[in-house]
Chains A and B, each alone.
Chain A
């Protein structure tokens, strides 16, 4: 069943298999490649693949890599030197004013842990913590953060010991593709402090009084709603945060 996906890929579009590949597949398999229209996306399987049997590891990619922050060799007269503390270390970048903190982290400081999910303040993937408060680095100019103390996902673990929130996200499988995860975790870590301070949310009741610092599931959901997750890991994210809020998170050494 589910003959939903006819594809119209003619045989001649398929590049021939290498001899090595052909040898690996029995005659039956090769026939199957030609007629397996019943399968999702048809027979387009071992196509356009060559040199499969070369031994490689990913190290070859490393030859292109730069280990130092990229310098901007086209700095204009508008450029400024911006000093900030990032994950406890003093950092200095020379940038134009129109560079966001997100792009400064990623493209100038080579800190790619902070993610760009929309670049317009609509997804939360770029969440970092500045002076104890979670903010969006995509809507923060780097120059606005001058002199401030920034914590990114790279700064949460102490050496090899993960932050309890990081550990809880792994334990509860609070992610799939992982792209929103740094933002989710930074957001969740800041949420812990907000709860400690007795801060309220839109779903809080009796807001003129000091609320309990323990949070209901609905409170956690509302407070985490600034971080989109397209994989839909929300229930597991809530579980992870509950565990850490409840002080039950395992911290592995």
Chain B
């Protein structure tokens, strides 16, 4: 862990200007990932700008009938908020499947979106990693890739995005609100927020330099009654997903009016299964159509040496999550 300067930002404009003016500066939210990365010398900021006390904590209804969750509200507070539990139980469930109560009490919503991969090779500075050190190579590609991506990866990076919350937000078509140093705000559709590695695996998302997440808006939807977040892992709790599925359905009797499926643990970003969603739309719920959707979702999957199991696991998880969602989810 290097030495750094600590600034507690008084307001968001101070926060943004501090980080915008210094390439070595980083926002600090709950710190649950960043402090760990600094300890590992993966991140070496010269300045930490603490944004966790900024008044970006509110969780409230939006004019459009959706809900806005503040960037500095804690994960556990968000999962337990009545607005979320009633309208987006999928999000509550996804958040609560991640990490531990202690970590969810610390982690901010904005910070959750900015979590970095837990790939062994990213975390170990003795190893080659294009994400950590652009151009150095990817040691996971032919190494211990048991937990690596099966979708959207390339030879530059096979890392997965570790968040559970983001998988639900992806399924719910959330919008990320950000502000830059000029005070200019912009909205980023969740599907466009995180990236695939392509030629710049070091870049996890499409935030511009110095942009600060202020809130996440979740549009009004009718998924509350039929949604489910399913997470498969190596132990029952306090482990990252091998595969996770956020399934949200809007039902009309036994017919699916609209479906959303997002996958975690399989790609560099939360993975929306748009084709599978199309297959399910206006179809009658049932095992056959679920299997068809699952096949479509993993159609382009490519396994590495040690992670072929994830493809089959993801298909089965999709089918199960859809069944659970039809059966009334957890609401």
Contacts and interface: CB of A to CB of B under 8 A. Distances in A.
Assign chain A's interface to a size class: 35 or more
Interface residues of B, number: 44
A200 B2 contact: no
Contact of A140 (B5, B93, B106, B331): B106
A201 interface: yes
Given A97-B6, A98-B38, A120-B36, A194 B101 contact: yes
Nearest to B40: A120
A202 B80 CA distance: 11
Contacts of B200: none
B97 interface: yes
Interface majority SS (helix, strand, loop, mixed), chain A:
loop
Contacts of A119: 39
A21 to B, nearest CB: 47
Nearest to B53: A144
Interface in B80-98: 80, 85-86, 89, 92-93, 96-97
Interface stretch (A26-34, A170-178, A204-212): A204-212
B96 A202 contact: yes
Contacts of A78: 3-6
Contacts of B80: 197, 199-200
A139 B36 contact: yes
B32 A225 contact: no
A188 B36 CA distance: 24
A86 interface: no
Contacts of B6: 78, 80, 97, 141, 143
A202 B231 CA distance: 10
B103 A223 contact: no
B35 A205 contact: no
A207 B100 contact: no
Interface stretch (A46-54, A128-136, A155-163, A235-243): A128-136
B102 A76 contact: no
A205 B101 CA distance: 17
B76 interface: yes
Contacts of B1: 98
Contact of B52 (A144, A187, A202): A144
Contact of B86 (A97, A200, A204, A208): A208
Contacts of B93: 202, 207
A113 interface: no
B97 to A, nearest CB: 5
Most buried by A among B1, B31, B96, B100: B100
Given A124-B100, A199-B80, A76 B3 contact: yes
B99 interface: yes
B202 interface: no
Interface of B: 1-6, 8, 28, 30-32, 35-36, 38-40, 48, 50, 52, 74, 76, 79-80, 85-86, 89, 92-93, 96-97, 99-103, 105-106, 224, 231, 236-238, 330-331
The 5 A-B pairs at the shortest CB distance, nearest first, are namely A226-B100, A97-B6, A225-B237, A202-B96, A133-B105
Given A98-B4, A124-B100, A225-B237, 14 more contacts: A97-B4, A97-B6, A121-B32, A121-B36, A139-B31, A139-B36, A139-B103, A139-B106, A191-B101, A206-B331, A207-B92, A221-B237, A226-B102, A227-B100
